[in-house]
Structure 1
């Protein structure tokens, strides 16, 4: 087939027709009705229906280096997903990266040792020098970066091999069990002196000091409370007396939850992603640290609304809290929360609630990018938390209070100094039902309007069994047709 259309712009008729011809050609060699998607995001790593591949190619463009369509019928056999993932490592990763430089960005206050030193000397150096927190962990990671995977290996160190494998695990959606099986096979393939972890748990321990972890907090199955802080050791909810653990046949037979064999499983778990390290991470890259000050140093203040910093609410806050607004590095956040069905089955009523934070310091072309959004909480289903959402927001609220009152020490890579980073929540973003849950103001009934409150002009319709709000045209202009 003619492949000249691949170099055309995505909106041209020649490109659109080329995609249609490609999908028609690839569909003849589909596996179980699916083909590998060669768009610039999937890079032949994902098996999708032909219609989905067509939409991806129209919106995201075709992988320019994929000129021999061997995964779509130009070779003898259609590959499996595993073969495709291993063959396109270079396409998806492009380069393995500078791991020493990455660690230096993560721990900028630690000096990079020019040559190997004894462990005792490094500990003494970290105790006497300026950096004190995490110095030993940093040097341990540097050791793993410098040590080759096995004698004579020049391409991978212990650390880089694990990081690359974890990236592939994420890109390809491997389960922890399959990752462990892969590590065991690699141990048999590599020389006996290869310093390779034996399972997923050991590999995770090697890279856990990179940060950006999460915490699992058990919750009452009826959303009464969190088993957190002073309640962390409770076995049942003191409000509804329901056990925090899942029950199984063994425990029911013995009439005692503790009699069940094996490890207990929590009935409901809140996933909490601590905010402080994620805000500190925003200032570890010089370019991103400069962008975090854009709302003061880069914004054009000419009265035109281009960014939330141009709003009256932002300006009123600055005039009220002068100490906070005096440092442009202090972070302004917006909170967005809503429920969705993670399983994609419309007939299922499962509702999981992610709580996202948006850093509004960034310019408008960055602050709403997916890479800039900060996942703070994942509230489990299967039902919406409703007005009990405040129970699950406790860890985030406490952290926001600390960031407002005290702040956290952070390193600014653009100015190369340490400062006290503070943050505040500017506003929340929801649809109307979610607004009712978060604000605890009922958006139904006689006083449904959160702006008018007790002055809401409402009337109950006896036959329709609903409230109507007839007097709210007051907000329209006098010359409006209504």
Structure 2
């Protein structure tokens, strides 16, 4: 499409016709009948009806530097190819997933509050300033649209890293092997490729996706966690066991800052915070609707098909009316078990995983592996017994906070923000 009209005087016939053509084009990729408004006040942060976006651009003007309509279905790679005379080149990034759509689900745009509409192209709307989430979204969306190197139409910086991390997970690559692969690819790619040099730099690129975990040091005898008030202790106050592994180099040098004498933790709990993972369940419109199935979609005919049909569920609802009044409040199941991660049965080792099951989902979804929420990985080598209580402290703390304080979440199916609560059934 000819975009020369964007440089014309606002109010001219060419400008009005150009905006109308833009809105017609953008409507093809509308989500739930709405598009992001590119006027100078909404700056692609607010979803509105197409005719409202047209009025805003007529009245306030369209962003001057918004030449590639990447938020409205236009591909930066395809545009470059057309300019270079190779219109047959198509962007093939969707072979590996809709990364821009994924980011929209992770960081949904703000919805404009209903307001009276005026006649003519003079309607204006004052958008709020960009918050931290919007800044993160813009940074990631820029990485999605930046080609890996000049002329690359298959991968952006972001999509290449995400695909490699997916392969790392599926194939069980170590961090060291992942770094070695990145270094080989860096030598193979053109010199202008924006490519991370190691695993740490690659993780920084996708850190804002919020899929990380926290490491919490633990007593080697499972007495306590070096956490909160005890975070600075070097030994367990219960059994006096050292927080650190015995290290001869460290004992000899007595120099903590030395690379040879660096302290190594005896035992580490890997904890996956629950709140961001519950919030993410509601960022996908389809999944957010499924999270309300236990109220809106369940057949209540007395047949036991789901925990929602049980007497325990009904008793919980009757005792906690405020909690049960909002179907979006999450009811969780918990499962924990030990396993040998090495697959050598002659070796005695027991690592424990703690899983959470979102019972709000229908039965054909809630027990699928993709719906399970990993809460903690408790290291071995011995079986825990009652000591599992020590390692459940971070989860219990979060559950108490989700019950008493709540956390703000965005429901993509109803396009509204709400206060999310959770309970362990």
TM-score under structure 1 normalisation? 0.63
Aligned equivalent of 2:386: 387
- Is the CA contact 1:356–1:376 (under 8 Å) kept in the aligned structure 2? yes
Poorly superposed stretches of 4+, deviation over 4 Å: 252-260
Query: Is 2:384 the counterpart of 1:364?
Result: no
Q: State the Cα distance separating 1:348 from its structure 2 match.
A: 2.3
Gaps (5+ residues) in structure 1? 1-92, 112-126, 427-482
CA distance in 1, matches of 2:324, 2:358: 15
Q: State the Cα distance separating 1:132 from its structure 2 match.
A: 2.8
CA distance in 2, matches of 1:243, 1:158: 44
CA distance in 1, matches of 2:294, 2:168: 37
Aligned equivalent of 1:229: 228
Aligned equivalent of 2:159: 160
Describe the shift of the 1:287–1:153 C-alpha distance in structure 2 as closer, same or farther (beyond 3 A): same
Aligned equivalent of 1:19: none
Query: Is 2:351 the counterpart of 1:352?
Result: yes
- Is the CA contact 2:290–2:360 (under 8 Å) kept in the aligned structure 1? yes
- Is the CA contact 1:110–1:131 (under 8 Å) kept in the aligned structure 2? no
Describe the shift of the 1:256–1:196 C-alpha distance in structure 2 as closer, same or farther (beyond 3 A): closer
Aligned equivalent of 1:238: 237
Query: Is 2:329 the counterpart of 1:330?
Result: yes
1:270-329 Cα distance to aligned partner (Å, 9 max, x none): 010000011111111111111111110111111111111111111011111110000001
Equivalences for residues 193-272 of structure 1 within 5 A: 193-253=192-252, 261-272=260-271
CA distance in 2, matches of 1:406, 1:252: 46
1:122-149 Cα distance to aligned partner (Å, 9 max, x none): xxxxx96276342222211112112111
Q: State the Cα distance separating 1:151 from its structure 2 match.
A: 1.3
Question: Matched residue of 1:411: which SS?
Answer: strand
Q: State the Cα distance separating 1:339 from its structure 2 match.
A: 1.5
Q: State the Cα distance separating 1:253 from its structure 2 match.
A: 4.6
Describe the shift of the 1:110–1:155 C-alpha distance in structure 2 as closer, same or farther (beyond 3 A): farther
- Is the CA contact 1:333–1:357 (under 8 Å) kept in the aligned structure 2? yes
1 or 2 for the larger relative contact order (CA 8 Å, sep ≥6)? 2
Aligned equivalent of 1:318: 317
Aligned equivalent of 2:375: 376
- Is the CA contact 1:251–1:260 (under 8 Å) kept in the aligned structure 2? no
Describe the shift of the 1:255–1:160 C-alpha distance in structure 2 as closer, same or farther (beyond 3 A): closer
Q: State the Cα distance separating 1:407 from its structure 2 match.
A: 1.3
Aligned equivalent of 2:96: 96
Q: State the Cα distance separating 1:254 from its structure 2 match.
A: 6.1
Aligned equivalent of 1:422: 421
CA distance in 1, matches of 2:249, 2:102: 49
Aligned equivalent of 1:106: 106
Question: Matched residue of 2:208: which SS?
Answer: helix
Q: State the Cα distance separating 1:249 from its structure 2 match.
A: 2.2
Q: State the Cα distance separating 1:166 from its structure 2 match.
A: 1.3
CA distance in 1, matches of 2:404, 2:129: 26
CA distance in 1, matches of 2:110, 2:246: 49
Question: Matched residue of 2:144: which SS?
Answer: helix
Aligned equivalent of 1:306: 305
Describe the shift of the 1:130–1:399 C-alpha distance in structure 2 as closer, same or farther (beyond 3 A): farther
Query: Is 2:174 the counterpart of 1:175?
Result: yes
Aligned equivalent of 2:293: 294
Larger Rg, first or second structure (1 or 2): 1
Aligned equivalent of 1:20: none
- Is the CA contact 1:251–1:258 (under 8 Å) kept in the aligned structure 2? no
Describe the shift of the 1:257–1:193 C-alpha distance in structure 2 as closer, same or farther (beyond 3 A): closer
Question: Matched residue of 2:221: which SS?
Answer: coil
CA distance in 2, matches of 1:412, 1:384: 40
Aligned equivalent of 2:281: 282
- Is the CA contact 1:284–1:412 (under 8 Å) kept in the aligned structure 2? yes
CA distance in 1, matches of 2:261, 2:255: 14
- Is the CA contact 2:349–2:382 (under 8 Å) kept in the aligned structure 1? yes
CA distance in 1, matches of 2:253, 2:279: 50
Equivalences for residues 27-46 of structure 1 within 5 A: none
Q: State the Cα distance separating 1:183 from its structure 2 match.
A: 1.5
TM-score under structure 2 normalisation? 0.71
Q: State the Cα distance separating 1:94 from its structure 2 match.
A: 8.8
Q: State the Cα distance separating 1:337 from its structure 2 match.
A: 1.1
Describe the shift of the 1:308–1:131 C-alpha distance in structure 2 as closer, same or farther (beyond 3 A): farther
Question: Matched residue of 1:280: which SS?
Answer: helix
1:324-370 Cα distance to aligned partner (Å, 9 max, x none): 00000100001111212222222222111111111110111111111
- Is the CA contact 2:353–2:377 (under 8 Å) kept in the aligned structure 1? yes
Describe the shift of the 1:284–1:228 C-alpha distance in structure 2 as closer, same or farther (beyond 3 A): same
Q: State the Cα distance separating 1:404 from its structure 2 match.
A: 0.7
Equivalences for residues 432-443 of structure 1 within 5 A: none
1:181-224 Cα distance to aligned partner (Å, 9 max, x none): 22222222221111111111111100111112100100011111
Question: Matched residue of 2:131: which SS?
Answer: coil
